[in-house]
Amino acid sequence: MTIQAIINNAVKRLKLEGRLLTPDAYAEAFCKEAKKAKMNVEDCEHLSKFTKSLNSDFQKDLRNYRIQTMNEFVRFLIAKLNRTNSTQASDTIESQVLLAKRVFQVIEVLHNKEASDLARKTIEILESGAQANQIDSFRQLWVNFLTTYDDTFLQKLREHGNIDTSNLRKTIENLNIKVAKSNSNELSFEKISKLLTASFVPSIASSMNETIADISLRIRKNPDILETETIEKEIKTAIALRIALDKESVKEMIESIDGVLDKLSLRLIDMIEHSDNSTAEIQEIKKELESYTEENSSNFKTTHKKLYTIALALEENTKALSIDLKGHSSEVSALSAKVKKLEKDLEAAKKESKEDFLTKLNNRRSLDEFMEIKEAEFKRYERNYSLVMFDLDKFKNVNDTHGHDAGDAILVAFSKILKKECRKVDTLGRFGGEEFVAVLSDTDTKGGFIFAEKVRKKVEKSRFMYKGNRINITVSSGVAERKKYASLESTLKASDDYLYKAKNSGRNRVEYKR
């Protein structure tokens, strides 16, 4: 068969299928006819070639979704890219930039003018959101500095004392230079700044707060700012943050000790209740542990002493405990491994789950996938659809007044109303919090408004009861039709914008493009 014959057959195929003779439709029909004629055409082999270059997981997904054309392949890749989580990469980059700024801030306060100036300029370009070429140019400046740096000037100090090129402070301290003492009894701002910044360091917590680090750096670089009026508030903030960090660490220590005591107490109680050989001393330990409260656990020295005493008593009087623990060691290890496996399976199940745990509607992930399918149908077959965004009015007041259990009950009741009012071809999902989305197939703006208005009236008339109390609830919504917008994203944004218009116009209403 000739190429011309395949072309003629492709045109006939499109006519029989009632499809328009567009470039994409023709390319698809041509490749099908070429395959039917068992003729290899290079342009028709792109999909197969690209598929083979993907990893096995992607190839499996392509088979499951029955991807047949390049358009379907491109939309599949776009959907995959849109579902990738960029938050982790963004957080990593942000942390790396912050780390780099801190390093340059350290270099800036060191005793080398050239390095300090270069560090200050580097911080400026990092904070201004510089492009890659700008960052590369500064990287080259640092390379130049590293390769041309000359510390032979320190050798000029050799006659005054020992030189240590790796420790400038030690070099200065070794110099035999006498410094005249000041007769002034007043402390300089420089000395005060050192004392202040030292007081900002947490005494218990192991980490330093970023805000504390910033204030400390500013004071060390410019001690004269201690004369300004605004610095007092910042110093108080730094001290308060330091105290908060210490308190948090103390709380964690107490919780850790309490956890040890709870486990030890429960184990002793179990031994005593299942053993006929309990000694009087173990009975006393049990009573002491039961009376041990958080109030007296706040004294770390007392806590340490009591725990040490208990440990000695256990070592001397409960050898059976050690034997018992050894006997159950393998059993505990097996249970631990089983728990870890169950936790891993549960986490995987949560990721794969497409159902919101509370309302039993589609969750955000499942909703996104369905909207991508509707978008593909719209692009291929021009099947219109509408998005309706719902938001329960003043829902925070329900949680604040009646509690979160009442709020959950309202969400479940509202989801049942949505299910009752929608069609089988429609899809409902919980978008987040008290926000819901309905994807209405083959529906224009008018149809979306009718659906949203039915739901609004039903909610307004419903009697939401919780523990004998009636809770009045209304709902606002926004409607957007796909044909009126450039993309799925802009349609979703439009429905959200109209929802907020309904909110700002008095709530309990439906808004759409008129």
Residue 184's pLDDT is: 46
Sign of CA dihedral 333, 336, 341, 342: positive
> Checking phi first, is residue 66 left (phi over 0); if not, alpha (psi -120 to 50) or beta?
left
Q: What is the pLDDT of residue 196?
A: 76
Q: How many CB atoms lie within 10 A of CB 268?
A: 22
Coil, strand or helix at 255: helix
Q: What is the pLDDT of residue 278?
A: 52
The C-alpha atoms of residue 426 and residue 442 are separated, in whole angstroms, by: 9
pLDDT of residue 297: 47
Using the structure block, give the residue that is written with the tokens 């088979």.
63
Give 91-98 contacts, CB < 8 A, sequence gap 24+. 97/126, 98/210
Q: What tens-digit pLDDT sequence spans the chain (514 residues)?
A: 788 888 888 888 888 888 788 887 888 888 888 888 888 877 777 777 788 888 888 888 888 877 877 777 787 788 777 766 556 666 667 777 777 877 877 787 777 788 888 888 888 888 887 777 778 787 788 777 777 777 777 766 666 666 776 777 777 777 766 555 544 444 577 778 777 777 777 777 666 677 777 888 888 778 888 878 778 778 888 888 878 887 887 777 777 676 666 666 666 666 655 555 555 556 666 566 556 554 454 556 566 566 666 666 666 655 555 666 566 667 777 777 777 877 777 766 665 678 888 999 999 888 999 999 999 999 999 999 999 999 999 999 998 988 999 999 999 999 999 999 999 999 999 988 899 999 999 999 999 999 999 999 999 998 888 888 888 899 999 999 999 999 999 999 999 999 999 999 999 999 998 8
In which element (H, E) is residue 431 found?
strand 427-432
CA distance 386 to 439: 6
Backbone angles phi, psi at 89, to 5 degrees: -65, -40
Structure tokens at 61: 């997904």
Structure confidence at residue 10 (pLDDT) = 83
CATH 3.30.2270.10 applies to domain 364-512:
no
The answer to whether 121 touches 138, Cβ cutoff 8 Å, is yes
Cα–Cα distance between 330 and 135 in angstroms, integer?
56
Closest to 411 (Cα-Cα) out of 385, 429, 386 = 429
For residue 176, what pLDDT is reported?
A: 63
Closest by Cα among 442, 462, 436, 467 to 382: 442
Can you tell me the distance from the alpha carbon of 14 to that of 185, in angstroms, rounded to the nearest whole number?
A: 99
Looking at this protein, which amino acid is placed at residue 114?
Answer: E
DSSP structure string for 209-235 = -HHHHHHHHHHHH-GGGGGSSTHHHHH
Dihedral angle computed from the Cα positions of residues 114, 115, 117 and 122, in that order, rounded to the nearest 10 degrees:
140
With tokens 């008129």, the residue in question is 514
- What is the pLDDT at residue 409? 92
Pick the closest to residue 388 from 478, 475, 505 (CA basis): 478
Residue 130's pLDDT is 73
Q: Which residues on neighbouring strands pair with residue 367, listed in sequence order?
A: none
pLDDT at residue number 328: 64
